[in-house]
Amino acid sequence: MATLEIKDLHVTVATEDGPKEILKGVDLTINEGETHAIMGPNGSGKSTLAYSIAGHPRYQVTQGSVTLDGVDVLEMSVDERARAGLFLAMQYPVEVPGVSVANFLRTAKTAVDGEAPKLRTWVKDVNTAMEAVKMDPTFSQRSVNEGFSGGEKKRHEIVQLELLDPKVAVLDETDSGLDIDALKIVSEGVNRFKAEGDKGVLLITHYTRILRYITPDFVHVFVDGKVAEQGGPELAEALEAEGYDKYVNAKV
């Protein structure tokens, strides 16, 4: 049973004035088959949580633990975390000039699985994954994200999710910058991943619109670097109606 467990996580980031604490004691457990949505205002630490789980070097864990199936994630390098089954879809996917999508995907799949996929079946798998998110298969010959629209970049993230098949997907504002058609396509990709039944999803978002297409099991309100409240899908509906003011004002 795949379980991502975060206990009392404190994280700092370097600034000109010295280390600044962003996460201030996060507790969160994502079990196999569960979808968790983290919502909160700008600057509350949502993306910091995502990048800390993935191992971004800018973020320093000063206290607490992160385990996947009982194994210490914080002791792993970034690539070891990916091989263990963690996946991060970034809010702002980077461009990689000179590296084709096809080569990038095959290299990533080889690194995660420990062996290269058979070329004949791999090409079919890539084309199928791209067609599922309505991307022209010719995009596989273009440099990674170079010249892609915002929606194309996010759909490419879903292609990666499908092909790499992780245990737990951390989706950092996957809905950011998407029009309604792209939002539906990306959401359908996440739902296909969820439908396997043994996957965990951590969905980070500002808005409830993506939750109209991806139904969370749990919603967590993130304010000032920690979870201020948690509940079911009805909590997202309350946030849509009331906003974050009561949580932000409560910490002042």
pLDDT digits (tens, 9 = 90+) for 174-196: 998 899 999 999 999 999 999 98
Mean pLDDT of the chain: 93
Please name the residue that has the structure tokens 């079990």: 31
Q: Give the Cα-Cα-Cα angle 178, 91, 194 (nearest 5 degrees).
A: 80
Q: For 89-93, 109-113, 160-164, 213-217, which range has the lowest pLDDT when averaged over its residues?
A: 89-93
Per-residue model confidence (pLDDT) at position 1: 57
- pLDDT tens, 14-57? 888 889 999 999 999 999 999 999 999 988 999 999 999 999 99
DSSP state letters, 20-76: EEEEEEEEEEEETT-EEEEE--TTSSHHHHHHHHHT-TTEEEEEEEEEETTEESTTS
Residues 196-202, mean pLDDT to the nearest whole number: 92
Sign of the dihedral defined by the CA atoms of residues 73, 74, 76, 78, in that order: positive
Per-residue model confidence (pLDDT) at position 176: 87
Per-residue model confidence (pLDDT) at position 2: 65
Question: What is the span of the domain harbouring residue 8?
Answer: 3-251
Residues 128-151, mean pLDDT to the nearest whole number: 94
Please name the residue that has the structure tokens 């949502």: 46
Per-residue model confidence (pLDDT) at position 251: 62
Q: Is the pTM of this model over 0.85?
A: yes
- pLDDT tens, 206-216? 889 999 999 99
The two structure tokens encoding residue 112? 């995660």
CATH number at residue 102: 3.40.50.300
Residues 130-157, mean pLDDT to the nearest whole number: 94
Beta strand spans in 71-158 (E): 71-72, 86-89, 96-100, 143-144
- Cα-flanking dihedrals φ and ψ of residue 45, to 5°? 105, 10
- Cα-flanking dihedrals φ and ψ of residue 230, to 5°? -145, 155
Q: How many domains does the chain have?
A: 1
The two structure tokens encoding residue 115? 């062996």
